[in-house]
Amino acid sequence: MTNTNPDVFDTTVQETNTWLRDIGEILGDNDRQHAYLALRGTLHALRDQLPIDESAQLSAQLPMLVRGIYFEGWNPGPAPPRGESRERFLDRVDQEVERTRWATFDPEKEARAVLRVLADRVSAGEVQQVRRLMPEQVRELWPEIAESR
């Protein structure tokens, strides 16, 4: 019997598991479900803040499975006004997470963990572009990016 499982699926599962592991390590609990919910919530908050063309550019650098999470439930339309506050952004992250599972859930901590992994795994140029489009209060959640990356 021949193997009909395309390698691309194995690769994207491995890459996604690496992202979840990295997020979990930053969060300090290594719970993949927690890391997944933090990833989903933060990606959706980012996606909904970006213009459509920039959302597409960012998504092109995500592993295929993470890209699916990113676009899950998306209704493209105009980006929210540029003045979105940090609290509103974090509320959007918080809405995605089943808070009852983590009594100490902190949407800022979760967002920072995901943004750290994005900064490590997406090109510096793309991260800088996305950060530039975020309101200042949201931009502060991102880690500093080395210019030479």
CB 86 within 8 A of CB 137: yes
Rounded to whole angstroms, the Cα distance separating 62 from 72 reads: 14
Query: Angle 22-13-32 (CA atoms, 0-180°, nearest 5)?
Result: 40
Burial of 58 (0-12, 13-18, 19+ CB in 10 A): buried
Among 72, 31, 38, 34, which residue's Cα sits nearest to residue 141?
38
> What pLDDT, on the 0 to 100 scale, is given for residue 55?
94
Task: Return the domain boundaries, the chain.
Answer: 8-73+81-139
User: Which tokens is 79 given?
Assistant: 């980006």
Supply the pLDDT for residue 80. Answer: 63
Query: Are 24 and 31 spatial neighbours (Cβ–Cβ below 8 Å)?
Result: yes
**Mean pLDDT of each 10-residue bin along the chain, 149 residues long:** 69 95 93 91 92 94 96 79 76 70 76 96 95 91 67
- Round to whole Å and give the CA distance between 63 and 146: 22
What is the distance between the alpha carbons of residues 5 and 119, in angstroms, rounded to a whole number? 31
Which CATH number describes the domain made up of 8-73+81-139? 1.10.490.110
